[in-house]
């Protein structure tokens, strides 16, 4: 296994998490270097989403430490971790069906002053919030969906709205839980290009994904989880031929 990156923006050291008798994470240590795109792969139930829940403060680990930008965030509440610069999307899309795309991008942001102000147009608007929303909208090519209600959007577009919303928080680290699930090949290729642009801008990305072609062509580094334990780490070229990985995952019929 490759060593922990020396200048990691995110580190997990010996993280364990159980739910009753289920050991979802067992002594997991990973690192995400600045500006890198790092993937987490593994069969269903391997503990991938739990890993994100621990990083974001949704779950507190039973053991181990989480460090973000040199600060120990293990016991921080979720809102503080977001403010420190960690944003995420969810495996099961979490949008409000009867809100427009634009409303999602505005309402999600933290604002000074009146919460009403952020929604108002013209000279009353929270101009910074509007600017961030506009940037995210444009970056993901969502302009034509600006006034569309979330529930009317195709699945691939909903995923992009979630990513755009995450971006409005101005994160340093973006966590994506199965971002191309439900996307066709063209949409996945388009997303790959967008994530590379974000990475080139200095954003660090940690993503969970089942789509092997996507992961192998995008990630600089991969971690492989199986039954809550890390069984391999390294660049895609190594992971592709790692016998333990092939055995646990790539060759398995349950992999999807």
Among 27, 45, 125, 199, binds ligand ADP (CB under 6 A): 45
Give which of Mg ion, ligand ADP, none residue 120 binds (C-beta under 5 to 8 Å, depending on kind).
none
Give the nearest distance from C-beta 119 to ligand ADP in angstroms: 34
> Inter-axis angle of helices 185-200 and 155-168, to 10 degrees?
10
Which residue, 49 or 168, has its beta carbon nearer to ligand ADP?
A: 49
- Residue 13 CB, shortest distance to Mg ion, in Å, is 22
Cβ-contact 48, 3 below 8 angstroms: no
Any idea what the Cα angle at residue 212 is, between residues 210 and 218, rounded to 5°? 105
Under DSSP, the state recorded for 75 is T
49 binds Mg ion (CB under 5 A): yes
Could you say which residues in the range 46-65 bind ligand ADP, by CB under 6 A?
Answer: 46-50
* φ, ψ of residue 166 in degrees (nearest 5): -60, -40
3-state secondary structure of 45: coil
DSSP state of 5: P
CA dist., res. 232 & res. 238, Å (int): 9
Return the residue of 3, 6, 19, 115 that touches ligand ADP, per CB under 6 A: 19
Alpha-carbon distance of 144 to 246, in angstroms, equals 42
Using DSSP's 3-state secondary structure scheme, residue 104 falls into: helix
Q: Which does 47 bind (CB under 5 to 8 A by kind): ligand ADP, Mg ion, none?
A: ligand ADP
- φ, ψ for residue 199, nearest 5 deg: -65, -40
CB of 89 vs ligand ADP, minimal distance in Å: 13
Q: Which does 74 bind (CB under 5 to 8 A by kind): ligand ADP, Mg ion, none?
A: none
Please state, in angstroms and as integers, the Cα–Cα distance from residue 118 to each residue in 1, 125, 128, 136, following that order: 48, 6, 9, 16
Nearer to ligand ADP, 53 or 108 (CB): 53
Minimum distance from residue 224 beta carbon to ligand ADP (Å): 11
The entry of Mg ion, ligand ADP, none near residue 44 (CB within 5 to 8 angstroms by kind) is: ligand ADP
Q: Out of 42, 57, 61, 156, which residue is the one contacting ligand ADP (CB under 6 A)?
A: 42
Q: Which stretch binds ligand ADP (CB under 6 A): 17-25, 95-103, 118-126, 163-171?
A: 17-25
CB of 208 to ligand ADP, least distance (A): 7
What are the residues facing 222 on neighbouring strands?
39, 234
**Which positions lie near ligand ADP, rule CB under 6 A?**
19, 22, 24, 42, 44-50
């Amino acid at each position: 296994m490759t060593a922990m990156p020396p200048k990691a923006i995110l580190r997990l050291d010996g993280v364990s998490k159980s739910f009753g008798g289920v050991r979802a994470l067992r002594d997991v240590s990973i690192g995400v270097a600045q500006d890198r795109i790092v993937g987490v792969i593994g069969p269903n139930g391997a503990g991938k989403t739990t890993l994100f829940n621990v990083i974001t403060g949704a779950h507190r680990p039973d053991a181990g430490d989480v460090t973000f930008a040199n600060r120990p965030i293990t016991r921080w509440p979720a809102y503080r971790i977001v403010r420190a610069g960690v944003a995420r999307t969810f495996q099961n899309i979490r949008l409000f069906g009867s809100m427009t795309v634009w409303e999602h991008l505005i309402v999600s942001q933290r604002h000074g002053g009146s919460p009403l102000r952020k929604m108002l147009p013209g000279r009353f608007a929270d101009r910074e919030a509007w600017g961030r929303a506009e940037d995210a909208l444009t970056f993901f090519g969502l302009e034509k969906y600006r006034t569309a209600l979330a529930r009317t959007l195709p699945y691939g577009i909903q995923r992009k709205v979630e990513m755009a919303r995450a971006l409005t928080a101005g994160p340093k680290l973006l966590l994506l839980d199965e971002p191309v699930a439900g996307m066709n090949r063209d949409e996945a290729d388009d997303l790959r290009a967008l994530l590379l642009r974000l990475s080139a801008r200095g954003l660090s990305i940690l993503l969970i994904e089942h789509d092997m072609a996507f992961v192998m062509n995008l990630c600089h580094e991969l971690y492989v989880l199986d039954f809550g334990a890390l069984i391999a780490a390294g660049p895609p070229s190594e992971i592709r031929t790692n016998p333990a990985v092939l055995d646990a995952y790539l060759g398995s019929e349950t992999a999807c």
